[in-house]
């Protein structure tokens, strides 16, 4: 626990980020003194506009396969604590910021950001013109990139070999290997772990007894548990690459109430015959306005996704599908309901609560659906 500023022992080395299109962004590789500089890191480069919450972002399994650029210029100043991680450790491939602080001070902190990332093998690039990098991504889309000290041509080749997230099953790298349970509610649900955040499980556990199962669990095994409801979690990457999850959801539809978040929303859409597409640079941040169409209320939401459900494809989907939420920035489908299958989903993250609690009602809505008090 740190009540006064603590300075981390770090070392620097000149380096750069090179994108697949050849764009170069110079900076300094940063690592804790207890560790050695490692080989280059590659991944799809995205930007996040949140002003705080870097620990939650870095440990969100939905960032698997990606290098996260923080548009806020200064991160690391309040360190890392034991309570706020969304998984067992960092899940992104790298972190880029204008300034990664080597001092931290917070009454909850027990570790610095640099030592945390260094211990988990996550590359850091600081002293980068992140404004220029963000503008580049906004203009040309999320691109594969490589961080390192090699030549520009070598880093570009590494970036191109990585090829981003399209067509990759990244869920396999973050799902649980064994089922486990939490919560103590009378109603029992099964949560399919496509890369679930701990905050989501905590909020589900306030309502239900939750059994978390690996993403590859079959529909027959799930139904053998006789769940009162089924939850489809968030997760990383391209939904079309998670074919086993899509087929499982297809077989579960109509057998129990279903609630999906983020990747779970996209997989549910694929399961009913709708389609998804890769966005130019995605939604990553805590300030996205989403309109609830039933009463026109606007929710301020947290989001993290590079893929979205196609509006046009929903008209061809099986079942009675109703769009429930839309993004006011770009019209992306943010929520839907399958009225004849007792299923609904949202693209954003209601557990994160930047509003702060604009979207918390969705967990109560699922509870009511499981208890037969909602359609």
List the catalytic residues: 262, 349, 351
Rounded Cα distance, 53 and 263, in Å? 21
Taking phi over 0 as left and psi of -120 to 50 as alpha, with beta for the rest, 183 belongs to left
- H-run or E-run covering 96: strand 94-96
Rounded Cα distance, 140 and 138, in Å? 6
Residue 271 CA: distances (Å) to CA of 168, 202, 316, 317, 353: 18, 27, 12, 9, 28
CA dihedral sign, ordered 316, 309, 86, 10: positive
Rounded Cα distance, 235 and 194, in Å? 5
Residue 71 CA: distances (Å) to CA of 47, 57, 76, 115, 330: 7, 13, 13, 22, 20
Rounded Cα distance, 308 and 310, in Å? 6
Rounded Cα distance, 351 and 295, in Å? 21
Is the Cβ–Cβ distance between 354 and 300 less than 8 Å? yes
Rounded Cα distance, 51 and 287, in Å? 10
Q: Which of 32, 28, 41 shows the shortest CA–CA distance to 11?
A: 32
Rounded Cα distance, 146 and 163, in Å? 11
User: Strand, coil or helix: what is 312?
Assistant: helix
Which residue has tokens 């981390």? 8
CB neighbourhood size of 274 (10 A): 23
């Amino acid at each position: 626990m740190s009540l006064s500023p603590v300075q981390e022992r770090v070392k620097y080395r000149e380096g750069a980020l090179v994108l697949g299109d050849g764009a170069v962004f110079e900076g300094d590789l940063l690592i804790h003194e207890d560790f050695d500089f490692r080989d280059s890191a590659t991944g799809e480069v995205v930007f996040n506009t949140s002003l705080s919450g870097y620990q939650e972002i870095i440990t969100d399994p939905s960032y698997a396969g990606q290098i996260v650029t923080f548009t806020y210029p200064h991160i690391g100043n309040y360190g890392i604590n034991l309570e706020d991680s969304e998984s067992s450790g960092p899940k992104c491939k790298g972190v880029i910021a204008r300034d990664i602080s080597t001092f931290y001070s917070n009454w909850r902190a027990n570790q610095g950001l640099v030592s945390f990332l260094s211990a988990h093998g996550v590359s850091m690039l600081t002293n980068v013109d992140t404004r220029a990098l963000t503008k580049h991504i906004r203009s040309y889309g999320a691109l594969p990139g490589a961080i390192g000290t090699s030549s520009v041509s070598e880093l570009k080749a590494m970036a191109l070999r990585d090829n981003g997230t399209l067509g990759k099953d990244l869920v396999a790298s973050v799902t649980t290997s064994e089922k486990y349970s939490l919560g103590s509610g009378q109603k029992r649900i099964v949560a399919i772990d496509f890369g679930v955040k701990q905050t989501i499980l905590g909020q589900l556990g306030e309502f239900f007894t939750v059994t978390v199962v690996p993403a590859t669990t079959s529909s027959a095994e799930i139904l053998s548990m006789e769940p009162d409801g089924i939850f489809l979690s968030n997760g990383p990457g391209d939904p079309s690459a998670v074919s086993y999850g899509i087929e499982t959801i297809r077989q579960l539809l109509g057998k129990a109430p279903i609630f999906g978040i983020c990747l779970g929303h996209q997989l549910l859409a694929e399961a009913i015959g709708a389609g998804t597409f890769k966005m130019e640079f995605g939604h990553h941040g805590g300030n996205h306005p989403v309109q609830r169409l039933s009463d026109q209320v606007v929710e301020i939401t947290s989001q993290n996704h590079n893929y979205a459900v196609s509006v046009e494809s929903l008209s061809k989907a099986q079942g009675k599908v109703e769009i429930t939420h839309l993004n006011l920035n770009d019209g992306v489908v943010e929520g839907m309901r399958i009225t004849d299958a007792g299923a609904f989903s949202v693209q954003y993250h209601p557990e994160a609560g930047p509003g702060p609690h604009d979207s918390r009602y969705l967990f109560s809505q699922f509870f009511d659906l499981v208890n037969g008090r909602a359609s």
